[in-house]
Amino acid sequence: MNVPCRQCNTPVDESTAVCPVCGATNPAQRYGPPPGSATMQTTAVNGGVVIRDIDIPFGRMVVLILKFMAASIPAYLLVMVIMFMLMGVFAGVMAAVMPDVFTAPAASGL
Ligand SMILES: [Zn+2]
């Protein structure tokens, strides 16, 4: 039975080990190597990249997402620092434009 090659879509036999057109290994196999090894099939589309398939067991996906979250903590801290700096600049500008709003009544001598 013929199935399209997973890389070039050329019809190849199910038992073919190597695609005769593009040289892909196991062209009839949809998802590449058997589960246990993390793989990603990516295709360039209009200059971008589309991730078609991530073939990994559920448990490893959970671990992967946990690692992503842990890795994103420094990024969150960096964003927070930038936000505080922008708020400081904003508050400084507002204090210069409207000094009355930012001056406490006790400090203004009332
Ligand atoms: Zn092929």
6 and 47 share one domain: yes
Residue 33 domain flag: yes
pLDDT reading at 6 higher than 90:
no
Q: Does residue 67 fall inside a structural domain?
A: yes
Domain shared by 75 and 39, yes or no: no
Query: 91 is in which domain, residue-wise?
Result: 59-102
| 86 dihedral zone (left: phi>0; alpha: psi -120 to 50; beta) | alpha
Statement: residue 36 has pLDDT above 60: no
Q: How far, in Å, from the CA of 24 to the mean position of ligand 1?
A: 6
Give distance in angstroms: CA of 18 to centre of ligand 1.
Answer: 8
At 50-88, the pLDDT tens digits run: 777 777 888 888 999 999 999 999 999 999 999 999 999
Determine how many CB atoms are found less than 10 A away from the CB of residue 84: 10
The Å distance, Cα 92 to ligand 1 centre, comes to: 62
Same domain, 32 and 75: no
Residue 13 has pLDDT above 90, yes or no: no
* Structural domains in the chain (count): 2
Spatial distance between the Cα atoms of 87 and 94, rounded to a whole number of angstroms: 10
Tell me the per-residue pLDDT of 14-35, one tens digit each, with 9 for 90 and over: 888 888 888 888 887 765 554 4
Phi, psi for residue 39 in degrees, rounded to 5:
-135, 155
Query: At 108, is the pLDDT very low, low, confident or very high (cuts 50, 70, 90)?
Result: low
13 C-alpha vs ligand 1 centroid, how far in Å?
A: 11
